[in-house]
Amino acid sequence: MKVTEHIANADKTLFSLEIIPPKKGDSIRNLFDQIDPLMEFNPPFIDVTYHREEYVYKERENGLLEKRSIKKRPGTVGICAAIQNHYHIDAIPHIICGGFSKEETENALIDLNFLGIDNVLALRGDNIKSEREFKPEPDGNAYASDLVEQIAAMNKGEYLDEELQNAIPSDFCIGVAGYPEKHFEAPNMNFDLKWLKKKVELGAEYIVTQMFFDNKAYFKFVEDCRAIGINVPIIPGIKPVAVQKHLTILPNIFKIDLPDELEQEITKCKDNTEVKELGIEWGIQQCRELIDYGAPVIHFYSMGKSDAIRRIAREFF
């Protein structure tokens, strides 16, 4: 079922989560062990992140450097198939621009379509660590809007091979990312919203936000979206803080702000046990306000941890 259908059929705020694939060499059972405690909240769908190849340089015996491609977290497509088979709920793979030509993207989408996957989250993706800026593949999509356009074309039966006759259309529900505190590369919020609207006009049917810790940012974001004609569901994404290092790690990686009150309370904590309890309390308050506001879904970024999410979700779901 499509995400938009899950939302339309619900009479209350839904629970969902995002997971990351296990590292290469780990068992999918470890992933199921993270998901199992959260199944009591009946998530209608689970997002699975995609991690592109990184590159390392290893010195050979002759002294020359050899560039090698590594992929620490493969398996997104296989995990989505396993989730749908094991839990009988929808799995949503992240589809990214980086590392894919348009033809490779099309082939991946064909595989997902054959597997009966109804939803995809279209993202540009991050630049690889060895490059300062994002660089698309030759003949690849440079922006998430390009990716949305390609998926939407397949939904109309338009494939890259123009000679195909009577090609069967796919029927993906396309999600995209939104940034209540602005994408870090956008010069201002209006610019960011303009391109978000472009993605919706090209075929995006719902939005999932970057994590945030100040609900006022989400409320303002939704209001600004509606004011410029973005009327698709906007799903808030949240994550409970768990360790003191999150004060610097989360702003650095995700380019977000932590409210003064939260920062001050974390600073007062004596250890990570206290930080975790604070994160749960803050998450409960966030969820209460978001549900009262009428958020269609509360989407938790699990990052391989389920205990704090479970304690928050038990209050509402």
Distance from C-alpha of 283 to C-alpha of 263, rounded to nearest angstrom:
14
Distance from C-alpha of 120 to C-alpha of 110, rounded to nearest angstrom:
12
Q: Are 121 and 175 in contact (CB under 8 A)?
A: yes
Q: Taken in order 158, 162, 164, 166, is the CA torsion positive or negative? A: positive
Distance from C-alpha of 228 to C-alpha of 214, rounded to nearest angstrom:
22
Question: Does 18 participate in catalysis according to the annotation?
Answer: yes
Q: List Cα–Cα distances, 183 to 178, 189, 211, in angstroms.
A: 8, 8, 12
> Which candidate in 18, 106, 149, 205 is catalytic?
18
Q: Residue 51: CA atoms inside 13 Å, Cβ hemisphere, count?
A: 17
> Which residue(s) pair with 193 in the sheet?
none
Q: What amino acid positions are annotated as catalytic residues? A: 18
